[in-house]
Structure 1
Amino acid sequence: MAKKSVAKKKKGNTGFLKFIKWFWLLFASGVAAGVLVFLLASWGVFGKLPTFEVLENPQTDLASEIVSSDGETLGKFYIDANRTPVSFSELPDHLVKALIATEDERYYDHSGIDARGTLRAVAYMGSKGGASTITQQLAKLLFTERASSNIVARVIQKVKEWVIAVRLEKQYTKEEIIAMYLNQYDFGYNGDGIRSAARIYFGKEPQNLSIQESAMLVGMLKNSSLYNPFRREKLTLDRRNTVLSQMEKNDFLSEELKDSLQQLPLEIDFHPESHREGIATYFREYLRDWLKKWAEDPKNFKPDGEKYNIYLDGLKIYTTIDSRMQAYAEEAVNEHMPRLQAEFFHQNTPDRNPTAPFLGLTNDEIDNLLERSIKQSERWRHMKYDLKKNDKEIRDSFDKEIEMTVFSWEGEIDTLMTPLDSIRYYKKFLRTGMMSMEPQTGHVKAWVGGIDYRHFQYDQVKQGSRQVGSTFKPFVYAAAIDQLHVSPCDSLPDVQFCIEKDKYGNPEPWCPKNADGKFTGEMMSLKDGLANSVNSLTARLMDKVGPQPVVNMVKKLGVEAEILPVPSIGLGTPDISVYEMVGAYGTFANQGVYVKPVMVTRIEDKNGTVLYEYVPETRDVVSDEVAYTTVKLMEGVTQGGSGTRLRHKWASTAVYKEIITGYPYEFNNPIAGKTGTTDNQSDGWFMGMVPNLVTGVWVGAEDRAAHFASITYGQGASMALPIWALYMRKCYNNEDLGVSKEAFQEPEELTIRVDCDKPVEEEDKPVEAEEVEIDF
């Protein structure tokens, strides 16, 4: 019996040992298989893995950033990724703590893979959270493909993530990995990366985020589509509070602070970053074209011969635009134009104007005008050249109602309208163009190309050229001062003056009338003549100087538009852009030296290497004495001419005050300027200057047949001057801008009498007696 017991015991021990043997054999095989899988993955058997060089420089699309002169981001150029990376040092400490507390509590204790977390995830089948570390999540964002529904493919992908995560940990510091991850994540609404997300959702840079704002963004890392503060506010709020709880759990917040922060609402301050929204939209679109041309120039190619991609290469474009002044300019437009538009609508109701908004056109002429607009439209171009439709199909489509969103000053309107009716609708709206420049440097500080870029994309600063009216007259006066040494105090008779046929190529005698059709018959000083835009005086000066010298001067002042050398140009018949007019006027404020307007000062690549620096383009046009005398002439416009309302608290008439302005100006500093109005009130201008800022404003409709019926509202002093005044008032209220209130600098040697109110010393009296016609 004893022998049988011993035998059974031996047999039992043998079975247990066999089990242990197989257990360790299977375990070792599993470990070996796991190691083999990792080795195969690292060797690229399951798909190509990033090389050392790629890990060193992961290829991500970087948006090009437009930076203002005061260091603010005006916008970005990108295709799919609105990404501008920030360094770890630019991240607030509470943002980093929120990330670690929520996504990877043992982040600083592992080397890319959290073994503890992995075992927990396997044991609980993911019900108590996943096992992906921050490094793994970065690997997934940077280098691995989208997750497959096939379980084998998903396992292989996870293995690849682990391999890449380990490599990333070897290649980068923990801080660099956190920055890379936050820079890479898509937060929605073009919020690619933490910097874009902070700006879009809260209107601030990452380092300025509050604790609760950082917690919301970290909460979105789990799923930015699910935790969307606009679509699922309650869910996003709960997720934010979960992050705050995790911070408290990890001793990053006190319980009291956590409780108080959890009571706060989300408080989103939405600042969308798209090409058609935000600040300086018209300028940004001009800049896009400028950059494309810059990138096409072979001398600007990369060292390897490739062109820079303005959407992907993360360029930094430093501009002269001041974000504060740009905001003031846009605010000024948005304050004045709705009021002006309301009066325009009031005057163009069907009972007041059956052909509204056009005046002086027959129905047939209006139909022809609309047909031309149809064939010039983007819809026509797209259907004809992209969709290859025939003309009849295209034209028929303009008479079929479709859903569309149209502009109004009260907000966008969703409506049902035919494309033809939308063309007619938009022709009722007045447009504007405005540019502000520092004359000494040529730096453009503000650029407003229209009233709303989403609906009116034609830029009225540089693309558009319109008849300049009396804002051209200072060029005639400057030529006369330069050639004839006339003084603002010299006088000419205000009587009709004719330039005979054939002189300067005139096909007929040219006998211009004054704006009101009347002549005083009295002697008038040149200063008063310019201040009140008296045509008879300008015609006399033009006759003595000649049109060609005036054209020559205007060309030196930077005007590239074609100008015929005929006498009528003196009254403002040429079409010139706001951009050119501001540059030209800047010459007078800059003591006779023309400085070409500049918008870009420097371009850097993503590493900070300077790729471009501007070189100022300047030239002497007139002497400082001629420039100063012209400025003093233009000061008369705001002292006793069409710009005098700048000195008053209110405009002179109640109707004008209530409908058009109602703005307290009361400027008391030296201002030189000139209003401009075309014959039928289709174009209104104001050019205004102080010593260190020149600003031009144009207002009018798309078609010149759409205009105010009378000069009360259709003159430059009513249409354009208020925008200039509102803008300057805002600039002056911000003393940090340093906009001058001082007098224009007087030349050391001034031989021309400019102060007509000051008694003339006997030795300084001109040869001509006072109040007599100038003897040329």
Structure 2
Amino acid sequence: MAEPRTLARRALALLAWLGAVLAVYVLALVPFTPSVAHLRQAREEQPSVLVSADGQVLARYRGSNHDWQPLSKISPYVVQALVATEDRRFFHHIGIDPLRMAAAGINTLQGDREGGSTITQQLARNLYPEEIGNAPTLTRKLREAMTALKIEAHASKQEILETYLNTVPFLYNATGIEMAARTYFGKNASQLDVLESATLVAMLKGTSYYNPMLHPERAIERRNLVLQLMQQHGDLGEAQMHSLQARPLRVDFEVQREDLGPAPHLAQQVRRWLTDWADRHGYSVHADGLVVRTTINSHLQAAANNVVAHQLQALQPAAAAVARNQPLQSGFLAIDPRDGHVLAWVGSSDFATSQFDHVEQARRQPGSTFKPFVYGAAFAAGLKPTDTFIDQPVAIRNGNSTWTPQDTTPPSMQPMTLGDGLAYSRNTITAQVMQKVGPARVARLARDLGVRDSKLDAVPSLALGTSPVSLKEMVTAYGSIANGGRYLEPVIVLQVEDRHGRVLEAFAPARPQRELDAGVDLTLIDAMRGVVNHGTGRAIRERYGITADVAGKTGTTQDNTDGWFLLMHPQLVAGAWVGFDDSRLRMGDSWGPGANSALPMVAEFFQQALGAKWIDPAASFGRPPGALPEVAVAAPVAPAPAPAPAPAPVPVPAPAPAAAAAPQTAVAGAGPQAPQAAAPSGEDDDEQGDAAEPARPRGHGHHAGHHGHHGGHHGHGRGHGRRWSLFRIVIG
């Protein structure tokens, strides 16, 4: 009789010892379980916001595609289905349910594996996936249970349900019940009916396995089980349950795209910088609600988006004849030359289909838009706009090769001033100027003014823009010219604030660097006025009626591969590039030149900016000191069918005096430049000649036949890995 009692005592002692060991083990795990502070953080989580200078939201930086909704804005059917299916005693337990755990253990031992986790335990796993994990171990279950107890001690049942429903994933980048409702049923979470609620809750058993889009039969079977459980829980009548179970899914599926905002390429540039900034300062881009205040003007950004879309739509029918499966692309950038503030940024025809940024990443030959650097170097060396060269054939030796630049019309064999050589974009005149001042001096000036990231080959053909550069660099350099010869780094971010408006860091204003003598710079501006007054960019005056003091330059590369136009005003500089991503594709002769493809974008943009008084129509660059009266000069001759002695020169009326003070008379509805007849002589085709320097790749710089997406694609090999110091968030 004594032996059984001894065995019982030993068994009880063993159980007590095991219980003590388990208790010690549990206590030892407590410091290694996550804090419930994350529960509060999840409820208060706010994405960082990118804001324009005038307070408009440009982008929200969310970690996932979700939209937090309070429990009051979630259909009650969702809560009923969730509790009936996942945790019937949710409102009565303290975070763990011993009865359910015991039942799940017995069923598992009998071969019917069943989970015993409560909604609170599932929330613990969702909030702390790394700390708790999903391994089927005792340690994981203990950590999960202790974390659930902590959550229940610090949050109400309603808060737990709200947090759970807003953090659970539903495939297709939809996180939370709100995005799931929009994705699968095209409505808000508050509008979900019983069937829709049951369908979404059914997915929680296994979102991929019960995906209603890929496995509708499984989804219906699981949905009907949820309806049955709701009936057993008292949420539905039996007749109602059977009626609902007989209905089809009726899914209205649409993947919810993240709102790209009005300046998506710029937003991605800033996101990369902000992520680095936040990491260094101990903030979360996706949760801490940072406010990033930028220099972007929302009105000018909207105008830039509109003019790019308008012109590309007008050109697309002609472009489709060239490349049926590749859309025509464009980049557009506008800055304030007085402080370097970026005002508008359009990186491609459509960010949804082309994330490649044609403002900062693309490297394309700038064609004749590079010529102002040649003439600027000449004026700095003592030449004057009234100095003349003969418009005649040119052959320049460069090592073992000879460069013979050509124009679209034969040389007139007449004297032409430097001012008109630039205005009419004569390659023969520009080549002689380049020969006079030297490629090294021209390359140095271009770098000083803003072309600082791309490699410039100091060879004679650089005069016609044969070294690929970015639109950002060109607009920056023109901004230096508009700013009196003073370089300013482009600025985007002004300051970063916390969610309460407290400034965390403000960035010092850029300091200008004198790169070109002020008098020389004004002489260059005056010569560039000739481009729009009577030269290749005269459509600015004639077609678009812009009378403000502006100066600019057209650009077209060989075979109409690239079309450029840049325009300067004392308070605004804007530039556009148009072309195909594949630089082997050529735009048409009637619509491809920069004066026809890119100029209309910039012209319409300036029309709106001046008409709305976003910039001052009366602002003036001034006149160069001691400027000589302008005189009539020989204009380029009309196109000839074959090279022949040129006819007598045609006098060109002297350009009108500076129109700075004239009232602005924007021509409403001038619209994009539709394809038309080829432009007359001097309309800016940059023929390099048959014996130019060793050819370098045009366009994006990829070799013939190559169009992949690895390093070097689009010629942006040097663009990748670009420095992101971004003090004042300087783009580049």
Matched, 1:711 2:589: yes
Deviations 1:428-462 (A, max 9, x none): x76554444444333363242577787x7765443
Counterpart of 2:462? 569
2: distance between equivalents of 1:223 and 1:325? 47
Asked if the contact 1:512/1:535 (under 8 Å) is kept, the reply is: yes
Asked if the contact 1:466/1:683 (under 8 Å) is kept, the reply is: yes
Matched, 1:467 2:365: yes
Counterpart of 1:684? 563
Matched, 1:341 2:319: yes
Once the two structures are TM-superposed, the CA of residue 471 in structure 1 deviates from its matched residue by 0.2
Counterpart of 1:495? 390
2: distance between equivalents of 1:174 and 1:315? 26
Counterpart of 1:517? 410
1: distance between equivalents of 2:256 and 2:603? 28
2: distance between equivalents of 1:176 and 1:170? 12
Matches within 5 A, 1:282-681: 301=280, 318=292, 320=294, 324=302, 328=306, 331=309, 335=313, 338-345=316-323, 408=325, 432-439=330-337, 440-443=339-342, 445-448=344-347, 460-480=358-378, 484=382, 486=384, 491=386, 495-496=390-391, 512-519=405-412, 521=414, 526=419, 529-539=421-431, 541-542=433-434, 547-560=439-452, 561-599=454-492, 614-621=507-514, 622=516, 630-631=524-525, 633-645=527-539, 666=544, 668=546, 670=548, 672-681=551-560
Counterpart of 2:646? none
What is the DSSP-based 3-state SS (H/G/I as helix, E as strand, rest coil) of the residue aligned with 2:560?
A: coil
Matches within 5 A, 1:676-755: 676-689=555-568, 692-701=571-580, 706-708=585-587, 711-722=589-600, 724=602, 740=614, 742-743=616-617, 745-746=619-620, 751=625, 752=627
Is the deviation greater in 57-66 or in 711-720? 57-66
Counterpart of 2:7? none
Once the two structures are TM-superposed, the CA of residue 516 in structure 1 deviates from its matched residue by 1.9
Once the two structures are TM-superposed, the CA of residue 541 in structure 1 deviates from its matched residue by 4.9
Deviations 1:606-664 (A, max 9, x none): 99998876555442334666656655544544454433446677xxxxxxxxxxxxxxx
Counterpart of 1:56? 37
Once the two structures are TM-superposed, the CA of residue 580 in structure 1 deviates from its matched residue by 1.1
Asked if the contact 2:331/2:347 (under 8 Å) is kept, the reply is: yes
2: distance between equivalents of 1:336 and 1:111? 66
Counterpart of 1:186? 169
2: distance between equivalents of 1:102 and 1:578? 56
What is the DSSP-based 3-state SS (H/G/I as helix, E as strand, rest coil) of the residue aligned with 1:673?
A: strand
Letter in 2 for 1:71: V
What is the DSSP-based 3-state SS (H/G/I as helix, E as strand, rest coil) of the residue aligned with 2:74?
A: helix
Asked if the contact 1:494/1:519 (under 8 Å) is kept, the reply is: no
Deviations 1:43-85 (A, max 9, x none): 6559956746533347999999684644343666xxxxx4388
Deviations 1:667-686 (A, max 9, x none): 64645432211233333222
What is the DSSP-based 3-state SS (H/G/I as helix, E as strand, rest coil) of the residue aligned with 1:73?
A: strand
Asked if the contact 1:66/1:73 (under 8 Å) is kept, the reply is: yes
Deviations 1:208-248 (A, max 9, x none): 976459979788767655775755899999989x99xx9xx
Counterpart of 2:242? none
Deviations 1:384-405 (A, max 9, x none): xxxxxxxxxxxxxxxxxxxxxx
Residue 167 of structure 1: which of 136, 140, 150 is its match? 150
Structure 2 vs 1, CA of residues 551 and 145 (structure 1 numbering), >3 Å: closer, same or farther? closer
Deviations 1:444-485 (A, max 9, x none): 63242577787x776544344222111012223444555659
Asked if the contact 1:282/1:459 (under 8 Å) is kept, the reply is: yes
Structure 2 vs 1, CA of residues 741 and 202 (structure 1 numbering), >3 Å: closer, same or farther? farther
Once the two structures are TM-superposed, the CA of residue 702 in structure 1 deviates from its matched residue by 5.8
Is the deviation greater in 697-706 or in 192-201? 192-201
- TM-score in terms of structure 1 length: 0.56
Counterpart of 2:257? 272
Letter in 1 for 2:614: S
Structure 2 vs 1, CA of residues 501 and 697 (structure 1 numbering), >3 Å: closer, same or farther? closer
Counterpart of 2:680? none
2: distance between equivalents of 1:40 and 1:726? 79
Letter in 2 for 1:550: V
Is the deviation greater in 571-580 or in 220-229? 220-229
Once the two structures are TM-superposed, the CA of residue 168 in structure 1 deviates from its matched residue by 0.6
What is the DSSP-based 3-state SS (H/G/I as helix, E as strand, rest coil) of the residue aligned with 2:390?
A: coil
What is the DSSP-based 3-state SS (H/G/I as helix, E as strand, rest coil) of the residue aligned with 1:467?
A: coil
Letter in 1 for 2:172: Y
Structure 2 vs 1, CA of residues 71 and 497 (structure 1 numbering), >3 Å: closer, same or farther? same
Asked if the contact 2:554/2:566 (under 8 Å) is kept, the reply is: yes
1: distance between equivalents of 2:307 and 2:20? 63
Query: Which fold has the larger relative contact order, with Cα–Cα distance below 8 Å and residues 6 or more apart in sequence?
Result: 2
Letter in 1 for 2:617: A
Q: Structure 2: state its 5+ residue gaps.
A: 1-11, 109-114, 236-246, 631-653, 660-732
2: distance between equivalents of 1:111 and 1:288? 42
Matches within 5 A, 1:91-170: 91=70, 93-95=72-74, 100=79, 103=82, 112=95, 134-141=119-126, 142=128, 146=134, 163-170=146-153
Q: Structure 1: state its 5+ residue gaps.
A: 1-28, 77-81, 251-261, 347-407, 410-428, 650-665, 761-776
2: distance between equivalents of 1:634 and 1:749? 12
- TM-score in terms of structure 2 length: 0.58
2: distance between equivalents of 1:38 and 1:450? 68
Asked if the contact 1:65/1:317 (under 8 Å) is kept, the reply is: yes
Is the deviation greater in 474-483 or in 319-328? 319-328
How many residues matched? 581
Asked if the contact 2:174/2:256 (under 8 Å) is kept, the reply is: no
1: distance between equivalents of 2:312 and 2:210? 35
Deviations 1:699-727 (A, max 9, x none): 4456655435x633442234434555677
C-alpha root-mean-square deviation of aligned residues, in Å?
6.3
